[in-house]
Amino acid sequence: MTTARAHTNIALIKYWGKRDAALMLPYTSSVSLTLADFYTDTTVVFDPALPADTFTLADQVRPTTKVTPFLDLVRAQAGLTTRARVRSVNHVPTAAGLASSASAYAALALAASRAAGLTLDAQALSRLARRGSGSATRSLFGGLSVWHRGHDDATSFAEALPATTLPLRMVVVLVNAGPKPVSSRALMANTVATSPYYPAWVTHNEAAAAAMIQALAANDFPAIGHLTEQSAMQMHAAIMAADPAFTYFEPETLTVWQTVQALRAQGVPAYATMDAGPNVKILTLAPHVDAVQAALLPRFAGRLMTTAPGPAAHILEDQ
């Protein structure tokens, strides 16, 4: 039995679109920040007495339609046929655009591989997590990481980036903590297939990943923030241009973006980003968190959370 914890991550430079859905190979590289306050704990037990895999999420029995194929990858590597019992708890709103799938599959990859007797290096574990959820490949690493798009299973993996000396903080604004009306996987596939803006987004986003790595190394926060906002807006522009047209933006989503722009005009270094969902994440620096929260509190009291860079995925219990 092994229990692992993995934290969510927010892509500063986005991942949106697969060129190989089976292997989860992305069209572009991406750069992310792992967050301290959102995480998943997962326990895996391989039990010879089990006739089939079982999966519980927050003590509720769930289908194994996604878990079993992933466990099959682990079993194939370990030479096992034994079924497994998987218990998972998400300490993050599920399906609300806060990367719960990233932490979930990163925790599952670490717990299942270790419970199966495998000792995978960081790159191999990253490649395994990628097969469950693309962004999970980055949640194995603490702080900043880059997911190289690669060109096949062996070359598409994530790795940690050097830590920045900037006191990065992320203010999360819960516009709507409920499930998304359209899953990110379905919308991602439709964007790739139908958006006339998608090829341009791929070109710009791949260049932005390289520029972001340079900006982080230079501790250039204005450049980091600008690249973060641009990647998010360009991704959502591609989504809006798909057929049928769709947007995750809600009225309060726009309110947050406009508040961030107003803060910047007042000299507060704050930059907005979004993933698949209406919730907005604001990248800022520790000394400016109070100013960001003060601007948002009148409208979003009780719906704000500030978090810092989080740790790498790790084992909580192994027996």
Asked if 279 contacts 4 with a C-beta cutoff of 8 angstroms, the reply is no
Domains of the chain with CATH codes: 2-164 (3.30.230.10), 168-307 (3.30.70.890)
Instruction: Please give the helix or strand (H or E) that residue 198 lies within, else none.
Output: helix 198-217
Res 94: pLDDT: 60
The DSSP H or E segment spanning 104 is: helix 100-115
Tell me how far CA of residue 125 lies from CA of 21, 111, 298, in angstroms. Answer: 19, 11, 44
Do residues 227 and 208 make contact, with C-beta atoms less than 8 angstroms apart?
A: yes
Q: CA distances (Å), 283 to each of 33, 117, 149, 179, 264, in order?
A: 10, 39, 24, 24, 12
The DSSP bridge partners found for residue 314 are: 5
User: Contact 219/165 with Cβ under 8 angstroms?
Assistant: yes
Where are any strands of DSSP class E within 122-223?
Answer: 144-147, 158-160, 168-173
Which residue stretches of the chain have pLDDT < 50?
none
DSSP state of 278: S
Give the relative orientation of helices 221-240 and 198-217 as an angle to the nearest 10 degrees: 170
Instruction: State the pLDDT at residue 111.
Output: 98
User: CB–CB of 172/279 below 8 Å?
Assistant: yes
Tell me what pLDDT residue 93 has: 65
Torsion (CA) 167, 149, 180, 139 in degrees, nearest 10: -50
Backbone dihedral angles phi then psi of residue 162, each to the nearest 5 degrees:
-55, 145
